[in-house]
């Protein structure tokens, strides 16, 4: 039985093409994912991401539990601040990636995790919590999560808030900070490489909030645009760029691992320490000068040697060429080739992100005149 | 509900065929097909002069989502391709039966369009696919 978010009727009303995503009926696009992508880069777009899991962890041992569960360290957080982390298994493999907030209430944290991994994540967190002291994990079923992203996003959202205090509180949020403002939990985070907010609102208020954002000119955007935006931003997608058999080091996420303090024993630490000291697979960015699209699982070659495969690939509407992230076993520089539908095409090796603040941050090689 | 013009012929692989009345046919992909594929980003067209057989893969339309082969519905010679698609692949989405046409084929001796589906036949084929 596919699940629907509280905004399902709104998507249908707008003519969205709906698809099944992790057991949820979600909007793929509302007409053109390329236009939606462009609108987020140039103005403001919004995404219903209510399929994601919101879990509140509280109790005297919540902090200690998170310091064991997560590869990043929640001790870096002051109230109102968030960080991005992987949650690892004993083999150092990624169970999920998530955003964790330290809330203002003592010992309280909020975790946003992926839709596809909900059951697995909840079971894992609860199992680790057992016997680890007093900590309870409650999954919120009463809220929507709306991501409003783009250079005009924050201004548009602030203009919709009721009073000056609310407007100021939202406007003053620094990146990766969140606050409760009225009935909303507003966070200056996102998955598009643009500035913006992710807003948690009571389900009953969702349609009104959605419609007032629409009226303000924010364009509804679907999962198609969400994927091309995050890929341009060099952001990983769980299940594609990493999974339980991939460590953060192999997925370009070493920066999310808090090695210090050295005595913080998080699950998977030992495996990561060993891997860090040796040669291991790593993640690179690729772009294709020629016509064609890079797609997941296409093989990557250095000369005749197969050295890895693409984990995520698509078309970059901003760069107007194909881009991808790949996991390879060798150091690659300059160019490599990729098997695209039976042909070996030359791809340029780059370090993501591909686009930042709406502009290319990698050089797209010019197509030679024929 | 996708558009299916009554005056065209169709294949079960989602090509439409328009009889130009001069021994050539114009070929493109249907509204149903472009809708399934999503925003087009690249179109690979055959070389003019290429000789094809019925059912031969001779073009590729690539959307953000997937690449899809396009087949010549009849045997003959490619006499024209739609150059506009190089800069504007989105024409296939916006006007699949008009400006988004892909190529023209000069029908080979003895070739005819009788084996192709009419609009009702194509509508049935899509319905069966979605069932």
Position A370 scores a pLDDT of 44
Q: Which one of B41, B86, B92 would you mutate to disrupt binding with A, by most A Cβ within 10 Å of its Cβ?
A: B41
ipTM: 0.83
Residues A73, A185 contacting (CB under 8 angstroms): no
What are the residues of chain B with a beta carbon less than 8 Å away from any beta carbon of chain A? 35, 38-39, 41-42, 44, 62, 64-65, 67, 90, 93
Residues B80 and B45: their CA atoms lie apart, in Å, by 10
CA nearest neighbour of A352 among A331, A324, A319:
A324
Q: What is the edge-to-edge ordering of all strands in the sheet holding A45-48? A: A178-181, A184-187, A196-202, A143-149, A45-48, A219-220
Task: Please compute the mean of the pLDDT values over residues B36-59 and round it to a whole number.
Answer: 95
Protein fold of A8-51+142-232 = Gyrase A; domain 2 (3.30.1360)
Query: End-to-end distance of chain B based on CA atoms, in angstroms?
Result: 15
Residues A72 and A87: their CA atoms lie apart, in Å, by 8
Least Cα separation, residue B39 to chain A (angstroms): 6
Q: What letter would DSSP give residue A78?
A: P
> Where are the domains positioned within chain B?
9-130
Any bridge partners for residue A348, and if so which? A287, A335
Protein fold of B9-130 = OB fold (Dihydrolipoamide Acetyltransferase, E2P) (2.40.50)
Structure confidence by residue, pLDDT tens digits, A243-287: 999 999 999 999 999 999 999 999 999 999 999 999 999 999 999
Residues A365, A319 contacting (CB under 8 angstroms): no
Q: What angle do CA A166, A167, A169 make, to 5 degrees?
A: 65
Residues B36, B58 contacting (CB under 8 angstroms): no
Q: What is the mean pLDDT of chain A?
A: 95
Task: Using CB atoms, pick whichever of A32, A291, A341 lies closest to residue B39.
Answer: A32
User: The domain A281-370: what is its CATH number?
Assistant: 2.40.30.110
Which chain B residues are within 8 Å of A315, Cβ to Cβ? 41, 64
Residues A245 and A275: their CA atoms lie apart, in Å, by 13
Residues A344, A298 contacting (CB under 8 angstroms): no
Position B114 scores a pLDDT of 85
8 Å CB contact of B64 and A291: no
Residues A160 and A148: their CA atoms lie apart, in Å, by 13
Instruction: CATH 3.30.1360.120 in chain A: give the residue spans.
Output: 8-51+142-232
Query: Tokens 């990983």 correspond to what residue?
Result: A236
For B21, the token pair is: 């009345």
Which chain A residues are within 8 Å of B90, Cβ to Cβ? 34
- Give me the sign of the Cα torsion angle B98, B104, B106, B108: negative
Residues A43, A151 contacting (CB under 8 angstroms): yes
Structure confidence by residue, pLDDT tens digits, A3-53: 999 999 999 999 999 999 999 999 999 999 999 999 999 999 999 999 999
Q: Give the other-Cβ count within 10 Å of A169's Cβ.
A: 17
Does A368 have pLDDT greater than 70?
no
Residues A92 and A266: their CA atoms lie apart, in Å, by 10
For A289, the token pair is: 């000068």
Query: Tokens 């699950």 correspond to what residue?
Result: A267
The β-bridge relationship of strands B24-29 and B103-107 is antiparallel
Which chain B residues are within 8 Å of A341, Cβ to Cβ? 67
């Amino acid at each position: 039985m596919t699940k629907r978010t509280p905004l399902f009727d709104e998507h249908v009303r707008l003519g969205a093409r709906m698809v099944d995503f992790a057991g949820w009926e979600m909007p793929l696009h509302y007409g053109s994912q390329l236009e939606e992508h462009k609108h987020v880069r140039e103005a403001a777009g919004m995404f219903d991401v209510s399929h994601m899991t919101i879990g509140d962890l509280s109790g005297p041992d919540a902090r200690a539990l998170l310091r064991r569960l997560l590869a990043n360290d929640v001790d870096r957080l002051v109230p109102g601040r968030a960080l991005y982390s992987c949650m690892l298994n004993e083999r150092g493999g990624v169970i999920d990636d998530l955003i964790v907030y330290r809330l203002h209430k003592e010992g309280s944290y909020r975790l946003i995790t992926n839709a596809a991994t909900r059951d697995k994540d909840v079971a894992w967190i609860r199992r680790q919590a057992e016997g680890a002291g007093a900590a309870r994990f409650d999954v919120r079923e009463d809220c929507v999560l709306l991501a409003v992203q783009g250079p005009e996003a924050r201004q548009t959202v602030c203009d919709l808030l009721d009073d000056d205090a609310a407007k100021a509180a939202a406007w003053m949020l620094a990146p990766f900070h969140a606050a409760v403002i009225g009935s909303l939990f507003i966070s200056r985070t996102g998955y598009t490489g643009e500035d913006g907010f992710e807003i948690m609102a009571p389900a009953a208020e969702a349609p009104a909030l959605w419609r007032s954002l629409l009226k303000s000119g924010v364009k509804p955007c679907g999962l198609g645009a969400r994927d091309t935006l995050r890929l341009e931003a060099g952001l990983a997608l769980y299940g594609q760029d990493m999974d339980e058999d991939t460590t953060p080091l192999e997925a370009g996420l070493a920066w999310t691992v808090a090695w210090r303090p050295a005595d913080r024993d998080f699950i998977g630490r030992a495996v990561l320490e060993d891997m860090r000291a040796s040669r291991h697979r790593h993640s690179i960015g690729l772009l294709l000068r020629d016509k064609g699209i890079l797609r997941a699982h296409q093989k990557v070659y250095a000369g005749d040697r197969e050295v890895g495969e693409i984990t995520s690939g698509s078309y970059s509407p901003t760069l107007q060429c194909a881009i991808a992230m790949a996991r390879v076993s060798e150091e690659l520089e300059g160019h490599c080739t990729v098997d695209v539908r039976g042909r070996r095409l030359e791809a340029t090796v780059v370090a993501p992100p591909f686009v930042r603040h709406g502009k290319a941050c990698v050089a797209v090689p010019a197509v030679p005149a024929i | 509900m996708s558009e299916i013009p009554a005056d065209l012929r169709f294949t079960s692989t989602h090509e439409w065929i328009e009889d130009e009345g001069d021994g050539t046919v114009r070929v493109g992909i249907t509204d149903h097909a472009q809708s399934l594929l999503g925003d087009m980003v690249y179109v690979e067209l055959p070389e003019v002069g290429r000789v094809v057989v019925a059912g031969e893969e001779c073009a590729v339309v690539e959307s953000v989502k997937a690449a899809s082969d396009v087949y010549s519905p009849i045997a003959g010679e490619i006499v024209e391709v739609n150059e506009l698609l190089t800069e504007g692949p989105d024409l296939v989405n916006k006007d699949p039966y008009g400006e988004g046409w892909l190529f023209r084929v000069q029908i080979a001796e003895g070739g005819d369009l009788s084996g192709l589906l009419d609009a009702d036949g194509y509508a049935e084929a899509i319905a069966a696919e979605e069932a």
